[in-house]
Amino acid sequence: MTTFTIAIGSDHAGFKYKEAIKAMLLAEGHTVKDFGTYSDASCDYPDWIRPTAEAVARGEFQFGIVLGGSGNGEAIVANKVKGIRCGLCWNEQVAIWNRSHNDGNVLSLGERTVTLDEALKIVRTWLATPFEGGRHLPRIQKIEQA
């Protein structure tokens, strides 16, 4: 099994799943850095999501995982960081497409939208899916360089 370096972050609404996903990843041998939040006390999600995405963009981690109540705001914040391709995934098929078609490097999940069992399966599937390559990535890189 391939192991990865993974940055993970959430707001209070994604805290429970973040902790469970982090435990699963560590048990499977991945290297994980938790960028917070560190409790379920109400907080502003950009404070935790942006540093997670920035660490991936700087190349400190191969992948990132961000969580919130719906995952929508987290994906928006992550995608504002140059070099991040964050996808909100609500099932395993969407996770496959995010990685294989879009070369996603950050996964966003909503704790209020999927069960914990589904979230763990989505993470495993997302990490196991390679990018198929193709014509899209060079265009993305050209846009980022402009």
Phi, psi of 69 (to 5 degrees): -65, -55
- Tell me how many domains the chain contains: 1
- CATH number at 44 reads 3.40.1400.10
What is the per-residue pLDDT for 133? 81
Please state, rounded to an integer, the average pLDDT across all residues of the chain.
93
* Residue closest to 8 by CA, chosen among 96, 108, 91: 108
* Residue closest to 66 by CA, chosen among 138, 118, 1, 11: 11
pLDDT by residue (tens digit) across 69-125?
Answer: 999 999 999 999 999 999 999 999 999 999 999 999 999 999 999 999 999 999 999
CB 62 within 8 A of CB 4: yes
What is the per-residue pLDDT for 137? 52
Res 10 pLDDT > 70: yes
- pTM of the entire structure? 0.91
Using DSSP, state whether 123 is helix, strand or coil: helix
The answer to whether 101 is a known catalytic residue is: yes
Structure confidence at residue 1 as a pLDDT band (50, 70, 90): confident
CB 37 within 8 A of CB 11: yes
Phi, psi of 96 (to 5 degrees): -60, -45
What is the per-residue pLDDT for 134? 65
12, 30, 101, 136: the catalytic one is 101
Host domain of residue 118 = 5-145
